[in-house]
Amino acid sequence: MEYKVIFKDSFLEDLERLMKRGVVNNPSIARKVCDLILRMGESLNFFPERHPKVRQRPGIRRFVVKKVFKVFYRVHHDSNTVEVLRCWDGRQERDPRF
């Protein structure tokens, strides 16, 4: 069964912030990383439970891109949707609020 993937405004703002910062101060690499993050988010339409749950946040799952960028999402089985909530640079001190 396929799920509809919804990118929340908070996720899009996080991604834009990463792009503006240049992720690693290189716009070309930043664009590639952001494209990869989006593609991986879109792939949640199939088997979204494949990534681990976040212990401290019930109902939230997470995957990591390029060993640094954490993407947080929530699966709604009743409506067959996946909400991609936040994208966070793991080098920052703490995870985002939801």
What is the DSSP secondary-structure string of 22-49? HHHH-HHHHHHHHHHHHHHHHGGGS-GG
pLDDT at 56: 87
| pTM of the predicted structure, to 2 decimals | 0.88
> 36-70, pLDDT tens digit by residue?
999 999 999 999 999 999 998 899 999 999 998 99
pLDDT higher than threshold 90 for residue 94: no
Both tokens of 7, joined, read: 């990118």
Of residues 65 and 31, the one with the higher pLDDT is 65
pLDDT at 93: 56
Residue 84's pLDDT band (cuts 50, 70, 90): very high
